[in-house]
Amino acid sequence: MGTSLPHRVTLRRSVRDFAAVLQRALRAHQADDLETAERLYREVLELHAAQPDALHYLGVLCHQQGRSEEGVELIRTALMITPRHPDAHNNLGNIHKECGRPVEAEACYRRALACAPHHYNALGNLAVVLEVQERLDEAFEAYGALLRQAPDDARGQYLLGLFLRNHAQNMEHLEQSAECFRRAFDIDARNLRALEALGVTLYALKRYDEARQVYRDWLAREPDNPVPRHMLAACGGAEAPPRAADEYVRELFDGFADSFDEQLLKNLDYRAPQVLAAALGEVLGLPARTLDVLDAGCGTGLCAPSMRPHARHLVGVDLSGGMVEKARLRGEYDELQVAELTAHLQAHPGAYDVVLSADTLVYFGQLEAVLAAVHAALKPEGWLGFTLEAMDGDARDLEITPSGRYRHDRRYVERVLDACGFADVRIRADTLRREAGQPVAGWVVLARRPPVGGMAA
C-alpha cells in the first residue's frame, strides 16, 4: 500500500505530460513543421509506447516524408490498439492509394465506413479507387451515396463532376458534369479547381460565351491570378501567349499536387509516361544503370519507375514545388530541383545522356528556345524524348486549346528539331489520354544529338 500513491501520482503526471506533448506535435504537424512534429510524436511514444494517436499521426507523417512502408506499419499498430478508428483506416487507405495499391486502399475505406457509415472522406475515396479499378458502376453508386448523405459536400460534387466528364458518353453527361462543378463552387468559393473545370466543360459543350464569362468573372474578382488570365486566352477571349507563363504553371500545379496522381489514375487511358518510356527503351537498349537522365517537368515522378533502371543518376526538375515534394516521396530520384525548365537546361551544358519530358512541352507554344536548350544540355549522341498534343493538316504551326495546353503540327516540330541540330528524328502518333470522354491524339517524339563532328540527318 505504501508504494501505491507515488505510483499513481507518477502515472497521472505521465498522462498529463504525453497529452500536452501530443497537442504540441499535432500543432507542429498542422503547421507543416514535420521535423518538430516527428520529434514530439516520438517523445509521446517514449512516455506511452502504445499511444494510438501518436502512432497514427506519426504514420501519416512518415508517408509525407517518403517512408510509406514505415507509415503503414505504424498505423496498423495503432489500429491493433483502437481497431474501430475510422480516420486511421481512412489514412491507411490513402497511403495505399497514393502508393498505387487500390485493392488494399478499398479494403481500408470499407473498414472506415463500417466504423462510421457517414465518413464522407472515406466514401469519396472509396469511389475514387473503384474508378481506378474500372468498376465504374460501383464508383458512380458510391459518388451518389456520398451526395445523398452530404449534398453540400463541395469535394463530392467536384469529384462526381470529374467522373462524369472523364467518362462522358454523351452531351447530357457533360451537362451534368458542368452542374456539379457549378454546385461545388457555389458551396465553396475557395474551390477554384471546380471553377476552372466548369469553364473547360462549358467550352466542350460549345457554350463558348459562357466559358469565357466564367474566366472574366474570376479575373474580375482576382485580377492578379494567372490561371483565369491564361484560360481566358485559351478560350479565345484574349490574345494567346507564346507559351504558358511560369506563374500560371506554378499556380496550376501547386494547387493540383495533392490530387494529381489520383486524377491521372482516374483518367484510365493516361499513357504518356508509359508510351514515352517504351519509345526510349527501343533506342537505349537493355537497362544498365549507366546513364545520366533528366526528367524534365517531372511532376509527381510518374516517369521515374520506368527510367530508374537506365539511370546512373536520375534528376527531376519541375517548376512546381508542390509537385517536386510529391516526386520526392517516390524515393526514385537522386536529385530533385524546383526550377524553370529552359533555365535549368541552359545551366547544365553537356550534362545528360537522356532528357525526357512527358506532357510538359504541351505548356510551351513556341518550342525553339526549349529544344535548343535541350540540345545544349545533352551529351553527344544523347537522346531526347517528349510528348506533345497533335495538330495535323492545318496551316498553323501550333494553337492553344481550351484546356490551356498547346497542340503542335508535326511539320513544325520536325522543322524546329532540325534547326536546333538534332538527328535521327522519329515521330509517331499515339493516344496519350482521354479528355471529356474523347481520346487526345499526341506525338511521341525522339531525337538524338549527333556525335562530335557529326551532322544532323
Planar angle of CA 85, 90, 93, nearest 5 degrees: 130
User: CA 230 to CA 280: how far, in whole Å?
Assistant: 32
CB atoms within 10 A of CB 392: 12
Quote the DSSP letter at residue 239.
P
CATH number, domain at 143? 1.25.40.10
The domain boundary, picked from 205, 239, 273, lies at 239
* pLDDT at residue 13, as a whole number: 46
Q: How many Cβ atoms from other residues are within 10 Å of residue 294's Cβ?
A: 31
Q: How far is CA 285 from CA 37, 273, 457, in A?
A: 46, 18, 21
215 and 351, same domain (yes or no) = no
Which of 140, 160, 180 delimits the end of a domain? 160
Q: Per the domain annotation, does 10 fall within a domain?
A: no
> Which helix (H) or strand (E) segment is 182 a member of?
helix 171-187
Identify the CATH number of the domain in which residue 306 sits.
3.40.50.150
* Grid cell in block for residue 15: 498522462
Q: Are residues 177 and 154 in the same domain?
A: no
My answer on whether 346 and 368 are in the same domain is yes
At 373, list the grid cell: 536548350
Q: Is the dihedral of CA 138, 144, 146, 148 positive or negative?
A: negative
Q: Which residues pair with 426 in a beta bridge?
A: 446
Question: According to the model, what pLDDT value does residue 1 have?
Answer: 36
**Same domain? 43 vs 155:** yes
- Of 36, 110, 45, 135, the residue nearest 81 (C-alpha): 45
106, 154: one domain: yes
- Whether 246 maps to a domain, the answer reads no
In this structure, are 146 and 178 located in the same domain?
no
* Res 58: pLDDT: 97
pLDDT in tens, 325-376: 889 888 899 999 999 999 999 999 999 999 999 999 999 999 999 999 999 9
Q: Is residue 346 part of a domain?
A: yes
Q: Are residues 344 and 411 in the same domain?
A: yes
Number of domains into which the chain is organized: 3
Query: 430 and 312 share a domain?
Result: yes
Print the domain residue range for 58: 18-160
Q: Which DSSP category does 153 fall into?
A: -
**What's the pLDDT score for residue 455?**
53
Residue 453 placed within a domain:
no
CA 148/CA 151 separation, integer angstroms: 6
Contact call for residues 331 and 311 (beta carbons, < 8 A): no
* 381 occurs within a structural domain: yes
In a domain, 219, yes or no: yes
Q: Give the HSE-up count for residue 317: Cα atoms under 13 Å, Cβ half-sphere.
A: 17
Question: Distance (Å, rounded) from C-alpha 112 to C-alpha 119?
Answer: 7
Residue 255 lies in a domain: no
State the amino acid at position 222 in one-letter form. Answer: E
Positions in the chain short of pLDDT 70: 1-16, 256-269, 393-395, 436-437, 453-457
Domain limit, last residue, from 160, 181, 202: 160
Whether residue 311 is found in the same domain as residue 190: no
Residue type present at position 126: L
Question: What is the model's pLDDT at position 294?
Answer: 98
**Are residues 306 and 350 part of one domain?**
yes
Q: Which pLDDT score, from 0 to 100, does residue 2 have? A: 40
> CA-to-CA distance for 457 and 454, rounded, in angstroms?
9
Q: Are residues 214 and 142 in the same domain?
A: no
Non-local (6+) Cβ contacts of 262 within 8 A are: 97, 98, 128
Residues 285 and 432 in one domain: yes
In a domain, 166, yes or no: no
